[in-house]
Structure 1
Amino acid sequence: MNTDTSTGKWRRENHQTVNLPCPPEWVRLAGEADAMVLAYPEVSLDTFRPNIVVRSHPTSGSLPALGAQSLAGMLGGVPGSHCIAHDRGEVADRPARGQLFTFSTDEHTVLVDRWLFFAGANAVEIAAHYTMEQQEDIAPLFAEILAGAIIDDAVADGSMPEPLREPPLDSYLQETSGIRAEAVDRVCRIQPYRPAGPVLTDAAFRLVMDHAGQKRLGKMQMMAAAGECAELVSVGLMEPDGAFTRAFELLSVPLGSARRRFVVEGQYGTQTTQLDAWAGGGGVLVATRPSHAQLVLGETENAVPPGAVRLDVIREGSLPGAIAAWAGLGPAWSVLGTVDQVPMGAFENRVEGSGAPPAGADRALERAWAQPWFVWRFRMPDLDMERAWLNAASAGHFAIGRSPEGTMKVQATPSAHVWKTMSQEIGLALQLH
């Protein structure tokens, strides 16, 4: 996607008290009385048209209340939406909340990059919408537009402001730094990983892998794998006579034409789990064992039993979101501490569920140590690439890795940064042939 704006001068567009710089080729769409919509130039029918929407309305309440209401509205109002990040920040020197969501339509996987703040009597929302494939180009452009925003305070005009319900606050931030921020630790419980595909035993899945791209099994083959064939028939992947169904063909296309494989290995206590994904033929086959939500939160809907996998076929742009949901990546208030390395033995003991914080631990590390730990390692075997993160629940995510001294580096990393790293590396890998 071409986002080169060097061929013309940027102009400025206004909506009430919000003034934004606008790239020369972008257009302002008509017909939105209560909002300003800036859109990328016309695109083909099968391409998502990136856009930026600005809304402003009289509101009474606090920034934590505005953030909490917006978060609940998105998760409750957009089916299948997943909140990646919900962070503190600034827009035009005003305290703000930055949010990142992903959701899928029939045609696209869309990212919502949204910022919320107050301008006098009004609550303001500035949100960019773009697909995973457009993220590399549009995300930095949106950041540049936000950096150039000019915001004036709105004066109460006599209209009835929308009252906001004040939410519970995050006790850790309030106690340690006096920061009033809405509690977000419950979000992961309402957005677990819930794929819609069938569950197969490992043996039945091996049969799928061994015969990907074929049309049917012969009688002798069916007799030798009677139990596995019965499974495939029961979930609609095979006809009783051994012919594979259209659903089987959809599963086998990425396997038979895979140009890239992705692996995510997870650990909760002494329990290990895994997500495997094969990308090819325009889609991705995802095979998952128990997710973060199942192991850590006790999620029972769509649970995967031992010795089995759940299969799903998704578009390539949906893979980062699927991994994020499976690993429990979501909003948390990450706090940088003064200690970012711990003894390897202490770390390994804590991963397995035991052990006190090491000597010299600061309050931020003690907070993380008290949370449930889910370690996940994301790798691409054919590219010799690996990243590792610790999901420490309400303490957020930490980038982890062995230091030259033999200790474990543990660095607090906002979920938006985890997302950016993972999604960009997946995107680059899919571009390689």
Structure 2
Amino acid sequence: MDSLNSIAPREPRLDEFASARIGAKLEDLSRVSQAQPYHSNGPVLDTRTVQLFESIADSGAVGRFQRGGKKYEIAELSASGYTNEKGQLTSSGKAFATPWREFEFGLSIAAQREEMNTGMQIWAGGGLAILAAGPSPFAAETMGIAPNQLALDLVTVAQLPMAIASWCSIGPAWTTHGDLRSLQQKQFYARLASAAEPAPADADGAWLRMWHQPWTAWNIRRSGSQSGHSWLNAGSAGHYRVGTKAGDITLEPEPSAVVWDTLVRFIHQAVTAPEQAVDGMGQ
């Protein structure tokens, strides 16, 4: 018998809860997101270095009287190829700084996972976007970023949604509705800070499934505006839109495809109306 035929095909691992809930064999999708973590191609720079880089985008060089107090930052920029040793932008530095010179809109992402607070700042202009990212909550150990450091990348505006989706781990998931849809703010933030926080006494199976997954709360905002969207990433239980009602935190299950579509639309509106506020749910 052919050795290949003698090996029984391995069936994918099932998501037991979702399969029972929906009444069909559903594959465990958690490994899909784990296989596509955020990856930065740019240098990791001190936050002060990134700020200096932005400040010289128009002038093209660190001011003569600034150099003495900016030796560390200039050394980092020079080592990365963006400036020479005197703090003057190289051709690579000038090309990279295009979104700062031709700024059209900015976005900011903030995320919290237990005690970890991180984020990403984005400047877009001239068809390009600069990403200054702290460690992704889903790939912090692989990014090698220390406190007060940022991974700097340049992408096209068309690549923005995928880059953000990867950093925020927007992957496929079987998101199910539960009986509960809200929490007191105190309890929500306590659970966000620690997985040891007890679940509500009246939590049903779907809610408990979500409760015992890793929690990461994140939001995206348009710079200079309150427009934006907020979600809770609950691992294999999927995404939940975060809102407020009567002083409580509402959690509405939202399929990953809807999260993705919302993100794409949000960025598209920023591109097509750079001077206008982007519609969304300001939380």
TM-score (normalizing by structure 1): 0.59
Q: Deviations over 1:351-395 (max 9, x none)?
A: 111411112111111111101111001111334302100000010
Return the letter of the residue paired with 1:344: Q
Q: CA–CA distance in 1 between the matches of 2:116 and 2:260?
A: 25
Match of 1:186?
Answer: 31
Q: Is the 8 A contact 1:374 1:391 kept in 2?
A: yes
Out of 226, 230, 244, the position equivalent to 1:388 is 230
CA contact (8 A) 2:116 2:137 kept: no
Residues 210-221 of structure 1: matches in 2 within 5 Å? 210-221=55-66
- Asked if the contact 1:286–1:312 (Cα under 8 Å) also holds between the matched residues in 2, the reply is yes
Contact 2:123/2:130, CA 8 A, preserved across alignment: yes
Which of residues 73, 76, 94 is equivalent to 1:231?
Answer: 76
The two structures, once aligned, show a CA RMSD in angstroms of: 1.7
Deviation at 1:189, TM superposition (A): 1.6
Q: Is the 8 A contact 2:98 2:126 kept in 1?
A: yes
Q: Which has the larger radius of gyration?
A: 1
Q: Hey, what does 1:244 align to over in structure 2?
A: 89
Q: For the residues of structure 1 that align with 2:111 and 2:123, how far apart are their CA atoms?
A: 18
Q: 1:401 aligns with which of 222, 236, 243?
A: 243
Q: Which amino acid aligns with 1:273?
A: T
| 1:206 corresponds to 2:39 | no
Instruction: Note the 1:69-218 alignment, pairs <5 A.
Output: 165-218=10-63
**Matched residue, 1:411:** 252
Q: Which residue of 2 aligns with 1:357?
A: 199
Indicate conservation of the 8 Å contact 2:74/2:86, yes or no.
no
In structure 2, which of residues 104, 119, 124 is the aligned counterpart of residue 274 of structure 1?
Answer: 119
> Percent of aligned pairs with the same residue?
32
Does residue 262 of structure 1 match 2:104? no
**Higher share of residues assigned strand:** 1
Q: TM-score, normalised by structure 2?
A: 0.89
Residues 292 and 327 in structure 1, CA contact (< 8 A), matched pair in contact too: yes
Greater mean deviation of Cα atoms: 412-421 or 173-182:
173-182
Structure 2: gaps spanning 5 or more residues = 1-7, 275-283
Instruction: Output the amino acid matched with 1:323.
Output: I
Cα distance in 2 for residues equivalent to 1:411 and 1:427: 24
Contact residue 233 and residue 240 of structure 2 kept, 8 A = yes
Partners of 1:220 and 1:177 lie apart in 2 by 67
What is the one-letter code of the residue matched to 1:238?
T
1:175, CA displacement in angstroms? 4.1
Q: Could you report, residue by residue, the CA deviation over 1:40-85 in whole angstroms, capped at 9, with x for unpaired residues?
A: xxxxxxxxxxxxxxxxxxxxxxxxxxxxxxxxxxxxxxxxxxxxxx
**Superimposed CA distance per residue, residues 235-291 of structure 1 (whole angstroms, 9 cap, x where no aligned partner):** 111112332112211232101221111011000112211111111122111110010
Residue 164 of structure 1: how far off its partner (Å): 6.3
**Alpha-carbon deviation of 1:293?**
1.8
| Rounded Cα–Cα distance in structure 1 between residues aligned with 2:18 and 2:267 | 33
Q: Secondary structure at the match of 1:382?
A: coil
Kindly provide the CA deviation profile for residues 217-243 of structure 1, in whole angstroms up to 9, marking residues without a partner as x.
Answer: 355432221111111111111112332
Letter in 2 for 1:217: V
Residues 213 and 249, structure 1, Cα contact 8 Å, conserved in 2: no
| Structure 1 counterpart of 2:214, one-letter code | P
1:375 and 2:220 are equivalent in the alignment: no
Per-residue CA deviations over 1:6-30 (Å, capped at 9, x if unaligned) read xxxxxxxxxxxxxxxxxxxxxxxxx
CA distance in 2 between counterparts of 1:199 and 1:358 reads 42
One-letter amino acid matched to 2:56: H
Cα distance, 1:216 vs structure 2: 2.4
